[in-house]
Amino acid sequence: MLDLGWSELLVIGVVALIVVGPKDLPGMFKQLGRFTAKMRSMARDFSRAMEDAAKESGVGDVAGDLKKVANAKSLGLDKLKEAADNFENWDPGKAGEGKAVGPETAKMTQERAEQARLIREASDAKARARIEAGETAGDGEAPRDDSPAPAAEPSAPPAPGDDSAPSAGADSSVSAPEADKK
């Protein structure tokens, strides 16, 4: 309500005493008390009437339904926030660590690692051969090798029971220098 301290009330009392006079001051305070009590009563009745009207019209039910519908959990926003947090905390170096992988995935991982090793060995051998041969262009640039490079073909794992399909590791017996000759 009004935040009136003792000093403000004292000032109001002194001004009222001077303006109204000491004789009529008690009657005025009595009338002021009745007026404020009547105003409080009217405000209370108005609040009750509004609450009753809201209950009768179903506004409370609608408000409850809106709260349920707008709940972050019912909208799936909690899962979205969880996914965003997981993405922020994701470390690519640790991706897949601690997760169980099936035998097919493990086999494909080994095959890809072997293919990557063969590619690295082939490029290292080719670089050493260029360095040993001393091939340099007149302007300081290395000559371009326009010969087609062997394309690494991705291999699908053979179907279970299919022995006729070549395995992905079939070319692994070919060394890197021999791969260049193909």
Q: What is the pLDDT of residues 21-32, one digit of tens each?
A: 889 888 988 998
Q: Where are the beta strands (DSSP E) in the chain?
A: none
Provide the token pair at 131: 């360095």
Rounded Cα–Cα distance for residues 119 and 171 (Å): 12
Helix 25-57 with 6-20: angle, nearest 10 deg:
120
Residue 105 is predicted with a pLDDT of 85
CB 125 within 8 A of CB 176: yes
**What integer best gives the mean pLDDT of the chain?**
76
Provide the token pair at 97: 């660590």
Three-class secondary structure of residue 143 per DSSP: coil
CB 177 within 8 A of CB 125: yes
Q: What pLDDT digit, counting tens, does each position of 75-121 carry?
A: 677 778 888 888 788 776 665 555 666 788 888 889 999 999 999 99
Q: Which of 39-43, 61-65, 145-149, 163-167 has the highest mean pLDDT?
A: 39-43
Q: What pLDDT digit, counting tens, does each position of 144-174 carry?
A: 555 555 555 555 555 555 555 454 444 444 4
Q: How many CA atoms lie within 13 A of 26 on its CB side?
A: 1
Q: Which of 61-65, 126-130, 138-142, 150-154 has the highest mean pLDDT?
A: 126-130
Residues 33-43: what's their mean pLDDT?
A: 95
- For 22, list phi and psi in degrees, rounded to 5: -70, -25
